[in-house]
Structures are given as structure tokens and as C-alpha cells.
């Protein structure tokens, strides 16, 4: 009987790592554990349309549209990803798939969309499995599978399927933690962290010169790799305690050291490279001066790029906003920044 074209739709947020994942092995497994806050505003809205395939081939029939426009490059990547999933999802071969995707942030903002994008797509795929076959045992099994599939697309994406905060990697004492998928640690957050802002200062929107895939690869020969993995695992454990205690100061120390360590690893790779810009350092230095002057617990982190994330609790929201406007926006391209905060996780639309 006829299967009518149907659709599934998920909105998934991005996430910002507090302890960074940098270095991988095997089929996208992490060399160390990592922990992140899930964002609220920065998100990808993805609709997966599917129908029966006219003639069944060996690969997967998919087309990807970004903001309504067919994207050959993303289509190719998505096809390769879905074909890697064929051992888990052989039925993908029998479908004709069209994916429509939109990001909440401007395409040119220099914000990576791989975490939110792969998470949204993975959630659509698990919903598709449930619709075509049978519901998974429970919601926990649903999100675990989505996290697993998201990880195969982009490592850090596996942390985006949960609200508030998530851990990826094996952490002693953290029940269920795994290298294969992330787990939620939302229930371990002290209330102060539920109020956290993440203002993303767009220092530069130029595309990064070295992809994170290449960056992970360079870790294999990095002389600091082994001690780094030991440090990151220890810091993930400590960060979890800090998040429970509500210790905003130690949180900030770990946060900033993680950001600078990530970039130090890039600088100490061979070939060496830098993703931060002079204005990134201007922002960091000015922020540290603000902290010395006011004592407000506003700390920075960095992703694999020049943009600066400022993390702070709601209690210092007003003075921080004024400080950003008056002293940091001059370092940003077109004075652009995204005011985001810790978020509640993906939603099915």
C-alpha cells in the first residue's frame, strides 16, 4: 500500500563546552570526557520529509536544503553520513529524503552549526525509526539513541540533545556515562547555573582556516596530547562537582583555562596554527580588568574560533551588559553579538 510523503521536525540548540573535547579515535570516539551547557537561542530547525523511493539503489537518496536553497556540498556530506548509518538503519535505502534546515543565527555569523544541525537531524532520524517501526522503550532510550547518532555526525553534537548540561565520555562515578553518547547532568546543576547567560561576541566572521576534523587529527602527534587527556578527564570530574556546589569562581577559572588550553593545543600542533585574532585577546584582557575592578563573576570561553563567549549569572546581568556595550562591542565585527543563555534542550515541532 501507498506510503504518503510525510515529515518530522525538530529544533535543536547548540552547546558550548566548559571542558573541551579535542582529540578523537576510532569511529568518532573522544580521547577525553567533556561537559557542556546547552544553549537556548542558537539553534537549528530541521524538517525531514520522506516518502517511498521509486527505484532502490545502493546508496541513500537525499537532498539538503538550507534556508530553502538546495546545497550540493551539505547534500553530499549528509548523504555520506546517512550511508554510514545504513548498518543501523538499513531502511534509509528504501526512502526518498528531503531535509529542510534553518539556523536561528545568521549564516555569516561565523558560528558553527554542526552541533545543533547534527543533533536536530539525529532527533528526526530516531523519530522516523519510531514512526516506521515501534516506539523505543522510553524517552531516555530515545535521547540516548539520538545522542549516539548525533555523535557519528559531529562529536560535540551528541551533547546537544539534552537541556541544561551534558557530559560525553566515561566519568568514574557518573552512572551511564559513555564514550558512545552523552548523558544529561541537568539534575546536578546548582540553581545559580540555571540562570547563566552566554553572550557570544562576534569578533570575526571569517571562516576558520583549519577544520575541527583536521584539528582533532593533529592531536595524534601533539607532544602534549597524553597529559592533556589526563587533565581534561580530571577537569570534567571537578567541573561536575563545581556545577553541583554552585562555585562560580572555580567554574570561571576552569572555564578560562580550558579555552586557552584548547588554543594552546592548536598552537603547539605541527603544523601549528592560530584561530584567535588580536581582538580576541583585547576582549580577554579587558574582561579580566573588569573582573579585577568589579569582582563580578564574568568569565570567557572560546570555541574553535576567534569569537568570545561570556558566561555569567543573571545577578550581574545589568552591569555586564553595560560593560559589553561600552567596552567590548568595539572589538566585534559590526558590533555584533548574540545574547544567549543556558537552555531547555531540543523540542519536536
| Contacts to ligand PMV by CB under 6 A | 17, 20-22, 34, 114, 154-156, 212, 262, 303-304
Cβ 240 to ligand PMV shortest distance, Å: 15
CA distances from 168 to 21, 26, 30 (A): 9, 16, 8
> Any bridge partners for residue 310, and if so which?
199, 300
CA distances from 128 to 8, 134, 226 (A): 7, 10, 40
Cβ 295 to ligand PMV shortest distance, Å: 29
> In the structure grid, which three cell numbers stand for residue 191, read together?
540553581
Secondary structure of residue 172 in the 3-state scheme: coil
Q: Which is nearer to ligand PMV, 169 or 252 (CB)?
A: 169
Q: Which is nearer to ligand PMV, 23 or 61 (CB)?
A: 23
Cβ 172 to ligand PMV shortest distance, Å: 20
CA distances from 73 to 63, 155, 221 (A): 10, 20, 30
Cβ 115 to ligand PMV shortest distance, Å: 6
Q: Which is nearer to ligand PMV, 117 or 252 (CB)?
A: 117
Q: Which is nearer to ligand PMV, 114 or 177 (CB)?
A: 114
Q: Are 160 and 15 in contact (CB under 8 A)?
A: yes
Q: Which is nearer to ligand PMV, 36 or 104 (CB)?
A: 36
Cβ 51 to ligand PMV shortest distance, Å: 31
Q: How far apart are CA 170 and CA 32, in angstroms?
A: 8
Cβ 154 to ligand PMV shortest distance, Å: 4
Identify the DSSP state of 2: P
Show the DSSP H helices in 12-90 as ranges: 72-84
Q: Which is nearer to ligand PMV, 24 or 49 (CB)?
A: 24
Cβ 264 to ligand PMV shortest distance, Å: 13
> In the structure grid, which three cell numbers stand for residue 136, read together?
523505543
Q: Which is nearer to ligand PMV, 156 or 177 (CB)?
A: 156
Q: How far apart are CA 191 and CA 197, in angstroms?
A: 13
Q: What is the dihedral of CA 221, 170, 167, 66, to 10 degrees?
A: 60
Secondary structure of residue 32 in the 3-state scheme: coil
Amino acid at each position: 500500500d501507498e506510503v504518503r510523503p510525510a515529515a518530522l521536525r525538530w529544533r535543536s540548540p547548540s552547546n558550548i563546552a566548559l571542558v573541551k573535547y579535542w582529540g578523537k579515535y576510532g569511529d568518532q570516539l573522544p580521547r577525553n570526557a567533556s561537559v557542556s551547557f546547552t544553549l537556548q537561542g542558537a539553534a537549528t530547525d530541521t524538517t525531514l520529509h520522506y516518502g517511498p523511493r521509486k527505484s532502490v539503489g545502493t546508496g541513500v537518496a537525499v537532498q539538503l536544503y538550507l534556508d530553502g536553497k538546495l546545497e550540493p556540498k551539505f547534500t553530499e556530506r549528509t548523504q555520506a553520513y546517512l550511508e554510514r548509518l545504513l548498518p543501523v538503519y538499513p531502511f534509509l535505502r528504501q526512502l526518498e529524503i528531503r531535509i529542510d534546515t534553518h539556523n536561528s543565527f545568521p549564516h555569516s555569523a561565523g558560528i558553527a552549526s554542526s552541533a545543533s544541525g547534527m543533533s536536530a537531524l539525529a532527533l528526526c532520524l530516531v523519530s522516523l525509526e519510531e514512526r516506521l517501526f515501534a516506539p523505543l522503550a522510553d524517552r531516555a532510550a530515545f535521547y540516548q539513541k539520538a545522542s549516539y547518532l548525533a555523535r557519528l555526525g559531529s562529536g560535540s553534537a551528541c551533547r546537544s540533545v539534552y537541556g541544561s548540561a551534558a557530559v560525553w565520555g566515561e566519568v568514574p562515578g557518573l552512572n551511564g556515562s559513555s564514550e558512545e553518547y552523552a548523558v544529561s547532568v541537568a539534575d546536578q546543576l546548582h540553581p545559580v547555573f540555571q540562570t547563566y547567560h552566554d553572550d557570544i561576541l562576534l569578533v570575526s566572521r571569517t571562516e576558520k582556516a583549519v577544520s575541527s576534523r583536521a584539528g582533532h587529527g593533529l592531536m595524534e602527534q601533539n607532544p602534549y596530547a597524553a597529559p592533556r587527556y589526563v587533565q581534561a578527564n580530571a577537569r570534567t570530574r571537578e567541573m561536575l562537582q563545581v556545577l553541583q556546589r554552585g562555585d562560580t569562581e572555580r567554574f570561571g577559572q576552569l572555564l578560562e583555562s580550558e579555552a586557552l588550553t584548547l588554543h594552546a593545543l592548536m598552537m603547539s600542533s605541527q603544523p601549528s596554527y592560530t584561530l584567535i585574532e588580536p581582538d580576541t585577546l583585547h576582549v580577554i584582557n579587558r574582561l579580566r580588568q573588569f573582573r579585577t575592578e568589579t569582582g563580578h563573576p564574568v568569565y570567557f570561553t572560546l570555541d574553535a574560533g576567534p569569537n568570545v563567549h561570556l558566561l555569567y549569572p543573571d545577578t550581574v546581568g545589568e552591569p555586564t551588559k553595560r560593560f559589553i556595550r561600552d567596552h567590548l562591542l568595539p572589538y566585534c565585527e559590526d558590533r555584533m553579538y548574540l545574547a544567549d543563555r543556558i537552555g531547555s534542550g531540543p523540542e519536536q515541532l
